[in-house]
Chain A
Amino acid sequence: MSTPFYVSPQQAMADRAEYARKGIARGRSVVVLTYADGILFVAENTSRALHKVSEIYDKIAFAAVGRYNEFENLRIGGVRYADLRGYSYDRADVTARGLANVYAQTLGTIFSSVGEKPYEVELIVAEVGKATEDDQIYRLTPDGSVVDEKNTVVVGGNADSIGTYLGQRHTPGLSLGEALKVAVESLARDPNGGSPRTLTPEQLEVAVLDRARPQQRKFKRILGGQLSRLLAAGSGDGGGDSEDTELDLPELDEDE
């Protein structure tokens, strides 16, 4: 019985895609959406140290679901790619499109290489522009496909139902508080039609790429008290304007 079974290329690829998809569907989702001043990232994540959303470069952030060691590897590769490119040329020459292409090549090569198992990850690479129209969001699947997304995107478990809900509720020009409210509501929904869960600030990882930030680096985590205030304001009535000024806090006071 030494003759191997014949597996058609179509079947082999379908099997690999199915394997990766199942791995991704097990995890909690990450929601990415545009708001008036930039791009908001919301993930369900109880860990304060193991991030699903991270900074890559000045205007570029990364969000991922799936196997932690695999997307962490890709994140570090992306940071090295961006820093090396910015150092060799100029900071302005580091773009989300370039990074998405490198990720696509990397994921695609791994996906179709016989010796490796496909990565069980789904990534989002986003870049905040000078205006809402210039914001770029790319979604990358384990086979190396790149999808250019507009306004909202969801990856991870129940992505379809969350994405449909989010897409219907999202309107351009939301304030940060409003956008956060919509994102949290869509994450908290029960896909089987039950009553929605309540997500506390401790269960959420929230970050923004804020184009209004005076610093060169536009990425900012929203933590602790600020997150609680934003969530409370959002659940009350619309988004206030006091939250936005909070975002100008220096970047490094992240631990509380």
Chain B
Amino acid sequence: MEANTRGTGRLPAAFLTPGHSSFVDFLAEHSPELIPGRRKLPEGLTIEAPHGTTIVAAVFDGGVVIAGDRRATMGNVIAQRDIEKVFPADEYSAVGIAGTAGLAVEMVRLFQLELEHYEKIEGTVLSLEGKANRLTTMIRGNLGMAMQGLAVVPMFAGYDLDLGRGRIFTYDVTGGRSEERGFAATGSGSVFARGSLKKLYRTGLTGDQAATLVIQALYDAADDDSATGGPDLARKIFPIVGLITEDGFRRLSEEEVSAIAVTITDERRNHPDGPQAPLL
């Protein structure tokens, strides 16, 4: 729906109506068909679509790290080997997505725009809590499609400028939001990733250590979950790792991630199950 295709080319009244700071609300009023969750599917139909799998995150001293593997699956087929599932949401937060890839990517675009739109209209940024709540609303709007198998389960991580630390939020398909302590994992490989994180995580990590930690967890998820892809050394496809600190979001370069991934893979030649935590 384009502004200047209507009437005289003048901005439609909806554009000049004061009141909304939310792009999603504006879209719902002006072009509801553009909202991802609004599309109606025929009753009782299930669609097979590519799914993204494992996302992990961990808090460290001075920030938070969020990482995702690169595999998308459709049933037992690998649909894509280099899908991206971790995106910056704005300067100080990022969102990682598991679930139906097509819808999730669209939801991320809308979420990014929602935060940017609010910032431009209001001249100030939302609190981290406010951003997490906006994401809740958007997932809830997708519930109808989730019931038909097209679920989107994001993870939200960001640096809270007011509290001065990194925070992680996870969601379920109904929009249920919970803040996680220390570390979190979501998606099909999350059971294995969480076990790995639980054994390796400790407080006082540095950013580099946290990046190594999440890649270890993704390796363990890929080890036991067929839908999660491990580091692909032959094709040089490595996990996407985002680091959020007081300085903002930074995606680790391919060289940085490949260096960590190669070290981990080398270590696993001798210790296939990875580093060992003490018994007591």
Known: A54-B120, A87-B110, A250-B247. A106 touches B31 (CB 8 A): no
Q: How far is the CA of A80 from the CA of B31 in the complex (A)?
A: 12
Which of A49, A84, A252, A254 makes the CB contact (< 8 A) with B1? Answer: A84
A56 contacts B16, CB within 8 Å? Answer: no
Q: How far is the CB of A248 from chain B (nearest CB, A)?
A: 10
Stretch at the interface among A7-15, A71-79, A126-134, A150-158: A71-79
- The reply on B47 being an interface residue by CB < 8 A is no
Which residues A30-50 have CB closer than 8 A to chain B? Answer: 49
A81 contacts B11, CB within 8 Å? Answer: yes
Residues of B within 8 A of A83 (CB): 23, 113, 116-117
A85 contacts B123, CB within 8 Å? Answer: no
Interface size class of A (residues with CB under 8 A): 20 to 34
User: Looking across the interface, which residue of chain A has its beta carbon closest to that of B112?
Assistant: A87
Which of A55, A102, A106, A250 makes the CB contact (< 8 A) with B120? Answer: A55
Which residues A81-99 have CB closer than 8 A to chain B? Answer: 81, 83-88, 98
- The reply on A67 being an interface residue by CB < 8 A is no
A81 contacts B120, CB within 8 Å? Answer: no
- The reply on B2 being an interface residue by CB < 8 A is yes
Q: How far is the CB of B21 from chain A (nearest CB, A)?
A: 9
Interface string of B13-35 (1 = CB under 8 A from A): 01110100001001100110010
User: Looking across the interface, which residue of chain A has its beta carbon closest to that of B12?
Assistant: A77
Known: A80-B26, A85-B2. A49 touches B123 (CB 8 A): yes
In terms of DSSP, what is the predominant structure of the interface of chain A?
helix
- The reply on A251 being an interface residue by CB < 8 A is yes
Which of A88, A105, A252 makes the CB contact (< 8 A) with B91? Answer: A252
User: Looking across the interface, which residue of chain B has its beta carbon closest to that of A103?
Assistant: B11
Residues of B within 8 A of A76 (CB): 15-16, 18, 121
Q: How far is the CA of A68 from the CA of B4 in the complex (A)?
A: 24
Residues of B within 8 A of A88 (CB): 1-2, 31, 34
User: Looking across the interface, which residue of chain A has its beta carbon closest to that of B109?
Assistant: A87
- The reply on A28 being an interface residue by CB < 8 A is no
- The reply on A51 being an interface residue by CB < 8 A is yes
User: Looking across the interface, which residue of chain B has its beta carbon closest to that of A62?
Assistant: B120
A87 contacts B123, CB within 8 Å? Answer: no
- The reply on B8 being an interface residue by CB < 8 A is yes
B3 contacts A84, CB within 8 Å? Answer: yes
B91 contacts A102, CB within 8 Å? Answer: no
Q: How far is the CA of A105 from the CA of B18 in the complex (A)?
A: 20
User: Looking across the interface, which residue of chain B has its beta carbon closest to that of A80?
Assistant: B15
Q: How far is the CB of A193 from chain B (nearest CB, A)?
A: 38
B120 contacts A73, CB within 8 Å? Answer: no
Interface size class of B (residues with CB under 8 A): 35 or more
Known: A88-B1, A88-B2, A106-B11. A56 touches B113 (CB 8 A): no
- The reply on B248 being an interface residue by CB < 8 A is yes
- The reply on A164 being an interface residue by CB < 8 A is no
Which of A86, A109, A250, A252 makes the CB contact (< 8 A) with B10? Answer: A109
B125 contacts A252, CB within 8 Å? Answer: yes
Residues of B within 8 A of A106 (CB): 10-11, 16
Known: A56-B120, A88-B34. A252 touches B3 (CB 8 A): no
B11 contacts A102, CB within 8 Å? Answer: yes
Q: How far is the CB of A77 from chain B (nearest CB, A)?
A: 4
- The reply on B92 being an interface residue by CB < 8 A is yes
- The reply on A101 being an interface residue by CB < 8 A is yes
A79 contacts B2, CB within 8 Å? Answer: no
A81 contacts B91, CB within 8 Å? Answer: no
User: Looking across the interface, which residue of chain A has its beta carbon closest to that of B125?
Assistant: A252
Known: A77-B15, A250-B248. A84 touches B30 (CB 8 A): yes
Q: How far is the CB of A207 from chain B (nearest CB, A)?
A: 12
Q: How far is the CB of A158 from chain B (nearest CB, A)?
A: 27
- The reply on B278 being an interface residue by CB < 8 A is no
Which residues of A line the B interface, CB within 8 A? Answer: 49, 51, 54-56, 73-74, 76-77, 79-81, 83-88, 98, 101-103, 105-106, 109-110, 215, 217, 250-252, 254-255
22 A-B pairs with C-beta separation under 8 A: A54-B120, A54-B123, A73-B18, A76-B18, A77-B15, A79-B117, A80-B23, A81-B15, A84-B31, A85-B2, A87-B23, A87-B34, A87-B113, A88-B34, A102-B3, A102-B11, A103-B11, A106-B11, A215-B91, A251-B91, A252-B90, A252-B119
Which residues of B line the A interface, CB within 8 A? Answer: 1-4, 8-11, 14-16, 18, 23, 26-27, 30-31, 34, 90-92, 109-110, 113, 116-117, 119-121, 123-125, 161, 247-248
Kindly list the 5 A-B residue pairs having the minimum CB-CB distance in the complex, ordered from nearest. A105-B9, A77-B15, A250-B248, A109-B10, A77-B11
